[in-house]
């Protein structure tokens, strides 16, 4: 399952039922088809973008095809049956489709409109576009940034006498400062049972969270991050950062263990005031707003002693065009609209997404939709302070090997030094196609 599907969890499966008007898969043979995955609130924002596009292009009809829990498999099924949607939402897993010839190289369109291409390059965050640039082709244009950061409970910080955490990536706190805060904010009753956690992780892929900590200690995950040739999980910087994350639960006990079946979901621990900090992304922002008496703000991830500045991850979704589409020119008009200034302005005003264009990211509409956030620079600075999630067609097999090794470390069954030797060799062999 791809990263975005993991982020959405169970809510995705019910999205098409919650917004039944979006679920069309047949209909007008001349209509442009748009395949995407979204929770109900997100779907409504996307509908708004479609409606705005329709006002400018009343001659172009768009039918929506909603994804279930496994969008990649759905896309393969559609395309194998000769019914590939015209416009396809994409994730870091897109390179598999690029190699299979499912996705159109958008450089063909961009080269025909050099003024527009230059506008995107000038206003967009380069790394977000580079994420979808594979073996010379531009297979999607980014539509939102979905990196991770920390939400923190201001009331709990004040009650414990802990100073507010940093407001900008450039002023990041250290691993030591973060741990000290988490320890001060962890509370236990007389029996030793934890009644309040200092830190919880609501990103449902803790091995990726740990990798971000490894990179924030100066390590690299894969080299290069796009179409990698080797992994660097055996490097001392990565190992130490990964171990620091694992020790938060295994050694310091300021966070519940990832396999603790009796613990409440991390996001509920935070929303109920039973955790002072939670690692997650912007997709939880509107849910936070709906919780009465939750006085929260956001802060950046900590940086380790070997690190060179705190980073998030380049989590993003993009829009691509099917190579087999008979309506490529119409599809390009919609992709250009949704990922360009007008569509991005709708993204900014919604409060549901973080736009990818710098002019929109720093616009009054975006600030207004995040009026509860004092540390807004955590969001506006996120895209330029992010590390890559690896992009490779072999990721499913690579991640399976990485997952099995990480589980041992995150359970406390082995130190992160376990990554050296056989684990790294196997992953490198998978990247080289020899396994």
Please name every residue paired with 66 in a beta bridge, in sequence order, or none if there are none: 36
Least confident residue range of 166-175, 245-254, 260-269: 260-269
Would you state the pLDDT for residue 29?
67
pLDDT score of 262: 54
pLDDT in tens, 362-410: 999 999 999 999 999 999 999 999 998 899 999 999 999 999 999 999 9
pLDDT in tens, 110-120: 999 999 999 99
**What local confidence, expressed as pLDDT, does residue 6 receive?**
38
- CA 417 to chain centroid, in Å, comes to 27
Confidence band of 14 (pLDDT split at 50, 70, 90)? very low
Q: Is the pLDDT of residue 261 over 80?
A: no
Helix then strand then coil, in percent of the chain rounded to 5, is 45, 15, 40
Residue 292 resides in a domain: yes
pLDDT of residue 263: 64
Mean pLDDT of the region 159-174: 97
**CATH number for the domain that contains residue 68:** 3.40.190.10
Task: State which H helix or E strand residue 226 sits in.
Answer: none
Rounded to whole angstroms, what are the CA distances from 235 to 92, 195, 220, 309, 407? 24, 37, 8, 18, 18
Distance CA 4, CA 36 (A): 11
At 258 the pLDDT is 72
Angle among Cα 147, 426, 422 to the nearest 5 degrees reads 110
CA 306 from centre of chain: 25
Q: Return the pLDDT at 105.
A: 98
Characterize the bridge pairing of strands 222-223 and 230-231.
antiparallel
**Region 15-35: what's the mean pLDDT?**
56
Is residue 105 a contact partner of residue 137, using CB atoms and an 8 Å limit?
Answer: yes
Rounded to an integer, the average pLDDT of 198-214 is 95
Q: Is the peptide bond before 336 cis (omega within 30 degrees of 0)?
A: no
Give 2's pLDDT tier (boundaries 50, 70, 90). very low
Name the band, by pLDDT with cuts 50, 70 and 90, for residue 131. very high
Residues 117, 104, single domain; the answer is yes
User: Does one domain contain both 64 and 113?
Assistant: yes
pLDDT category at 433 given cuts 50, 70, 90 is low
pLDDT exceeds 50 at position 20: no
Stretch 22-35: mean pLDDT, rounded? Answer: 66
Strand partners, 318: 90, 142
Same domain for 289 and 319: no
Provide the pLDDT for residue 134.
96
pTM (2 d.p.): 0.91
137 within some domain:
yes
Q: 134 and 202: one domain? A: no
Q: Do 280 and 319 have their domain in common?
A: no
Domain count of the fold of the chain: 2
DSSP for 259-328 reads: T-TTSPPHHHHHHTTSBSEEEEEGGGHHHHHTSTT--EEEEPPPB-TT-SS--EE--EEEEEEBTT-TTH
How many helices (H) and strands (E) in the chain? 21, 17
Report pLDDT for 356.
Answer: 95
Verify that 307 and 160 share a domain, yes or no: yes
Please give the pLDDT value at position 17.
30
Domain match, 48 and 77 both = yes
pLDDT at 45: 87
Its domain, for residue 160, covers 148-313
Judge whether 109 lies within some domain: yes
Query: Is the pLDDT reported for residue 15 higher than 60?
Result: no
The residue among 313, 343, 370 that closes a domain is 313
Half-sphere exposure of 295 (CA within 13 A, CB side): 7
Q: How confident is the model at residue 434 (pLDDT cuts 50, 70, 90)?
A: low
pLDDT tens digits, 303-354: 999 998 899 999 899 999 999 999 999 999 999 999 999 899 988 988 889 9
pLDDT surpasses 90 at 42: no
Q: Tell me if 395 is assigned to some domain.
A: no
Residue 320: φ, ψ to 5°: -120, 175
Does 196 lie in the same domain as 152?
yes
d(C-alpha 97, C-alpha 104), whole Å: 10
Shared-domain flag, residues 236 and 160: yes
- Residue pair 276/156 in contact (Cβ under 8 Å)? The answer is yes
- Whether 378 is in a domain gets the answer no
């Amino acid at each position: 399952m791809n990263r975005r599907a993991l982020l959405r969890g169970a809510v995705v499966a019910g999205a098409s039922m919650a917004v039944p008007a979006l679920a069309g898969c047949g209909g007008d043979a001349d209509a442009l088809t748009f395949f995407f995955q979204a929770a109900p609130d997100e779907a409504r924002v996307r509908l708004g973008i479609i409606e705005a596009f329709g006002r400018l292009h009343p001659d172009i009809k768009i039918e929506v095809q909603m994804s279930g829990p496994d969008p990649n498999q759905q896309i393969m099924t559609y395309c194998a049956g000769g019914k590939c949607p015209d416009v396809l939402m994409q994730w870091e897993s897109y390179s598999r489709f690029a190699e299979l010839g499912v996705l159109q190289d958008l450089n063909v369109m961009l080269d025909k409109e050099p003024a527009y291409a230059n506008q995107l390059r000038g206003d967009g965050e380069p790394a977000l576009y580079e994420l979808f640039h594979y073996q010379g082709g531009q297979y999607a244009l980014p539509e939102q940034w979905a990196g991770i950061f920390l939400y923190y409970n201001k009331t709990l910080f004040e009650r414990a006498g802990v100073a507010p955490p940093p407001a900008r990536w450039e002023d990041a706190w250290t691993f030591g400062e973060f741990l000290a805060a988490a320890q001060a904010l962890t509370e236990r009753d007389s029996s030793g049972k934890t009644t309040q956690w200092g830190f919880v992780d609501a990103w449902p892929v803790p091995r990726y969270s740990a990798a971000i900590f490894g990179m924030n200690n100066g390590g690299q995950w894969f080299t290069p991050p796009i179409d990698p040739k080797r992994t660097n999980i055996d490097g001392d910087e990565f190992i130490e950062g990964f171990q620091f994350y694992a020790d938060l639960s295994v050694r310091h006990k300021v966070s519940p263990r990832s396999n603790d079946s009796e613990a409440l979901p991390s996001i509920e621990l935070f929303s109920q005031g039973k955790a002072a900090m939670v690692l997650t992304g912007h997709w939880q922002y509107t849910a936070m707003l709906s919780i009465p008496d939750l006085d929260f703000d956001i802060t950046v991830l900590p940086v380790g002693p070997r690190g060179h500045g705190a980073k998030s991850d380049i989590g993003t979704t993009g829009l691509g065009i099917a190579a087999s589409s008979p309506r490529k020119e119409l599809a390009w008009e919609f992709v250009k609209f949704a990922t360009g200034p007008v569509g991005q302005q709708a993204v900014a005003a919604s409060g549901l997404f973080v736009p990818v264009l710098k002019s929109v990211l720093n616009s009054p509409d975006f600030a207004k939709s995040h009026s509860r956030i004092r540390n807004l620079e955590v969001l506006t600075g996120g895209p330029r302070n992010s590390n890559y999630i690896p992009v490779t067609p072999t990721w499913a097999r690579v991640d399976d090997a990485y997952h099995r090794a990480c589980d041992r470390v995150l359970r406390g069954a082995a130190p992160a030094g376990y990554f050296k030797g056989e684990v790294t060799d196997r992953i490198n062999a998978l990247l080289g196609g020899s396994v």
